[in-house]
Amino acid sequence: MQLRTFDFDRDYEAVRELWSQAGSGIQLSPSDEPEEIRHKLKRDPELFIVAEEDGRLVGTVLGGYDGRRGIVYHLAVAVDRRRQGIGKALMEALEERMRALGCYKYYLLVTRNNHAAVHFYEGLGCERMDLDVMGKVLR
């Protein structure tokens, strides 16, 4: 397995397919459309990582860093390749790249009923936070 930085022209369709098959843990939104992903890549392209095996994309993680805190947007691993260390390898690579940018701490969102994801992230040292998530659509 090889980890590398996402390349839009080479990877977008395969990543989008992986996200769509990931289950309820990844909720696709307008911010996952091609023009929005291209826009995101202008900021910190090195925080979008893919895992490739024999020419097949088997995992991906999309992160961001605003200069103060990091965020993990989407982590997905192909259903037939789960529980084989790909998600952990992607998260470790993302954390390393965030540290290199000066990131002190990152956040991620997990849906309440996604117990497998909670367990996975706790295994990486993530902790639950007593927060309410709020948001507002601007466009």
- pLDDT per residue over 86-128, tens digit each? 999 999 999 999 999 999 999 999 988 889 999 999 999 999 9
The Cα 119–Cα 117 span in angstroms is 5
pLDDT band at 12 (very low <50, low <70, confident <90, very high): very high
Domain boundaries, the chain: 2-123
Structure tokens at 69: 């805190």
Domain 2-123 fold is: Aminopeptidase (3.40.630)
pTM: 0.92
Q: What is the dihedral of CA 7, 8, 10, 14, to 10 degrees?
A: 110
